[in-house]
Structure 1
Amino acid sequence: MASASPSLSARFTTQILPVALSDIDFPSDADSPNIPKASVTFTNLCKAADMIRNHVAPVAFPTETVYGLGASALSTTAVQQIFAAKNRPSDNPLIVHISSVSQLRRVLHTEVPDIYRPLIQRFWPGPLTIILPLPDAIRQEDGTEAAVISPACTPGQSTFGVRMPSHPVARSLIAITDTPIAAPSANASSRPSPTTAQHVYDDMSGRIPIILDGGACNVGLESTVVDGTVSPPAILRPGGVSLEEIRKYGGPLWKDVMTGKSEAGQDEKVRTPGMKYKHYSPKAKVVVFLGHGDGRVGEVAKYIRDLEGDLKIGVLSSRLFKFDSWDEDVKKKIYIVKELGKSGAEISRNLFAHLRDLDEAGVDLIIAEGVSEEDEGAAIMNRLRKAATEILDSHRHIMKN
């Protein structure tokens, strides 16, 4: 069993540096962005790029999914700084981020297999990670061989995950650095992923030097990870691209795509983040209700009514929970209600932010409404299940540690 990486004591004065999306013109098929050289955006991107290029420390930056904590994927020293800053277990792999397909070829000496071509034509740049075989080691001038990608990114694996983010700040940072960037979410390990610069600051202040503030993330959940190196191909982690979209746009080779297991044993090697260890968890206990309608008469209202003690209760509602219709005894027990939204996109965008909001409100218990698992629902429920202490559905009761 892997131990956590060594903790990094606070040693930075963390700066939040603004970057304006309106300053960046980065066409999806381009290799580099157009950014006014005199702009604050360009200056701050260059400051962050220098940190990464010189392996000073990881920096945080926005992507369309969540904020990432990035360092050079080519340097083990740099990658280990990510693990230390997050206090992340060392056997939890990292995804490598690129700015263009040409960078994948030129720097990582890797071609995209044909099986992925229809998917990346549709979803790159975007919230899709693909699994590829590790590139062959390169022979150095002294005759020794060195891995192209740091083995710290891919503990014990012969594959790596790679994606091209669509967020102009993320792509620009990678392009300016001209270095593939390893980047997990920019939160303390096990906490809900950050979707604003302030979330990052709350978790990482003093542990990293720079947070690039590009506003709130518009997807809100991490990328979908697909594995085309196995037959049939598999979804290893649901995310910003749904199973239905993979089947629709992937062509014949993806029509039988399987959804892999979402959790792994402590001693099991995994190809993607999010399968081991505690993830996405607020400080409060989280109870997820599935298949309980709007809660007016069923087990949701009864569960809340029967709770003993002076608990501060928060509720995450979406499509079915109707707080206004609950009886007064139940309402009196609820401290705060946060609406996730009705559409899958709204719920995805708000989930991590609202879990953090309820933590800030100091609640002791979070009652969360589960959703059906079509389209974005699979990724939403994947995160809720990992955050949950208990799952109560209309057919069975699942206790978690």
Structure 2
Amino acid sequence: MSTQALFTTQILKVKPESIKFSPNSVLDGSLPVISDPDTEKALKEAARIIRDTDDTVAFPTETVYGLGGSSLNDNSVLNIYKAKNRPSDNPLISHISSIDQLNRKVYGEGNLSQSELLKHIPNSYHNLIHKLWPGPLTILLPVPSENIHTLSKLTTADQPTFAVRIPANPVARALIALSDTPIAAPSANASTRPSPTLASHVYHDLKGRIPLILDGGACRVGVESTVVDGLCDPPLLLRPGGFTYEEITEIGGDFWKNCKVESAKNVKTNEKVRTPGMKYKHYAPSAKVVLLIPDSPTSDGKLDTFKQIFTSEIASNSDIKNVAILTTKYLDNITKTNLPIPGTHNLIIKTLGHNGEEIQANLFAALRQVDEEDKVDLIFVEGISEEDEGLAIMNRLKKAAANNCVSF
């Protein structure tokens, strides 16, 4: 990624708690009430950039920080790809603030009656969006007909579907509502790097590449949205994320009971993908990552097995001096004294948390801390079982480790 600075990147703090939406705003698009003047001023400046220029803005969502540009503007979308150094055949999710905005700005239909509001959203999604929007759920919808030129084809990688969601974070929703513009927004990081969950992560990766970062604090969920395809039968979970597979199948109704999980591990170079995160290297620190996958639900022998793995990795590479271990369950009691580490090596041990929600929220920040601040050469991460939040966590970790996985 080029280090040439194009902008003096400004960070503006905003207060999410000062932004209030009415209960009906998710349908009718009514604007939020913002009680903090500085937050309102920052949001209006960010909205101006999105609406009136080709530039991009980084902002917090409940999942990770997003890098946003207008979904309706080819140049804005190109600037997203440029800032991230992201391949242009990797589709982007369009973020909207309401169903009304989807109808007006994407499908070109305003003033629809209450009974017509969901006309562009197939029945297969209705149970899910009624209960999970706003929130970390992305659905695939058919692109508008050929005579409606709204969405940039660069957001869809020129495919017949596009990905869309309504974020729950009030800063994100307010920005989209005030700009009255669907916002294409991948994670606000340099391509292939761990996703950002703090404004400082965005600044580390994109300083000089974008004009503005809205700092709304830490992201609550910590991994990207769940992406589902309800246009096919049986439906597909394309990317695990902020809502679990179990929640989708329970809330979605009978149609979603047989939801399949996209299982392709390798995507061909010329193969089109329908959602981000399926094709290219993702979530990877500069340091080597070794993912430890528990092969049984007990702690029997796991510490001894890890000691063997640890010793082998250290012995096989003389350049390794600084090592991090990110623990979850079975290695939670590990210490420097019960590991055979050479005296010339430095060791950092951090826990990611003790349940799926904690691990998910802490994952990317921990990877970034030991990589960017502690500057370790090798990272061991203890994985968890692939159920509930574990499916999304292990999806990210396997990509961060480039499938460099060992059982223990």
Regarding TM over 0.5, the answer is: yes
CA displacement at 1:296 relative to structure 2: 5.3
- Tell me which residue corresponds to 1:320: 330
- Tell me which residue corresponds to 2:51: 53
1:376 equivalenced with 2:385 (yes/no): no
Q: Deviations over 1:114-163 (max 9, x none)?
A: 1000000111000000001101133xxxxxxx632100001131000000
1:298 equivalenced with 2:304 (yes/no): yes
- Tell me which residue corresponds to 1:391: 405
Query: Aligned equivalents of 2:34 and 2:99: distance in 1?
Result: 24
| Percent of paired sites with the same residue | 51
Correspondence 1:90-129 to 2 at 5 A: 90-109=88-107, 111-129=120-138
Structure 2, unmatched stretches of 5+, are: 108-118
Contact (CA 8 Å) 1:236, 1:262: kept in 2 or not?
Answer: no
Query: Aligned equivalents of 2:217 and 2:15: distance in 1?
Result: 9
1:34 equivalenced with 2:43 (yes/no): no
Q: What amino acid is the match of 1:311? A: K
Query: Aligned equivalents of 1:207 and 1:281: distance in 2?
Result: 20
Change (3 A) 1:12 1:230: same
Q: What amino acid is the match of 1:128? A: L
Contact (CA 8 Å) 2:332, 2:351: kept in 1 or not?
Answer: no
Change (3 A) 1:261 1:348: same
CA displacement at 1:358 relative to structure 2: 0.8
| Matched residue SS, 1:330 | coil
Query: Aligned equivalents of 2:92 and 2:132: distance in 1?
Result: 20
Query: Aligned equivalents of 2:335 and 2:325: distance in 1?
Result: 14
- Tell me which residue corresponds to 1:19: 14
Correspondence 1:271-286 to 2 at 5 A: 271-286=274-289
Q: Deviations over 1:142-194 (max 9, x none)?
A: xxxx6321000011310000000000000000000000000000000000000
CA displacement at 1:291 relative to structure 2: 1.5
Correspondence 1:101-250 to 2 at 5 A: 101-109=99-107, 111-138=120-147, 147-250=149-252
CA displacement at 1:28 relative to structure 2: 4.5
* RMSD (CA atoms): 1.9
Q: What amino acid is the match of 2:157? A: P
Change (3 A) 1:328 1:275: same
Query: Aligned equivalents of 2:133 and 2:3: distance in 1?
Result: 34
Q: Deviations over 1:296-345 (max 9, x none)?
A: 54321112123223521100101111344675343665610111001100
Query: Aligned equivalents of 2:332 and 2:10: distance in 1?
Result: 41
1:287 equivalenced with 2:293 (yes/no): no
Correspondence 1:350-369 to 2 at 5 A: 350-359=362-371, 360-369=373-382
Query: Aligned equivalents of 1:148 and 1:94: distance in 2?
Result: 15
TM-score between both structures, scaled by the size of structure 1:
0.91
1:270 equivalenced with 2:273 (yes/no): yes
Contact (CA 8 Å) 1:266, 1:277: kept in 2 or not?
Answer: no
In the alignment of these two chains, the number of paired residues is: 382
CA displacement at 1:33 relative to structure 2: 3.7
CA displacement at 1:107 relative to structure 2: 1.4
CA displacement at 1:54 relative to structure 2: 1.3
Contact (CA 8 Å) 2:22, 2:32: kept in 1 or not?
Answer: no
Contact (CA 8 Å) 1:316, 1:368: kept in 2 or not?
Answer: yes
1:341 equivalenced with 2:353 (yes/no): yes
Change (3 A) 1:38 1:62: closer
Query: Aligned equivalents of 1:330 and 1:28: distance in 2?
Result: 57
Contact (CA 8 Å) 2:18, 2:36: kept in 1 or not?
Answer: no
Q: What amino acid is the match of 1:260? A: E
CA displacement at 1:280 relative to structure 2: 0.2
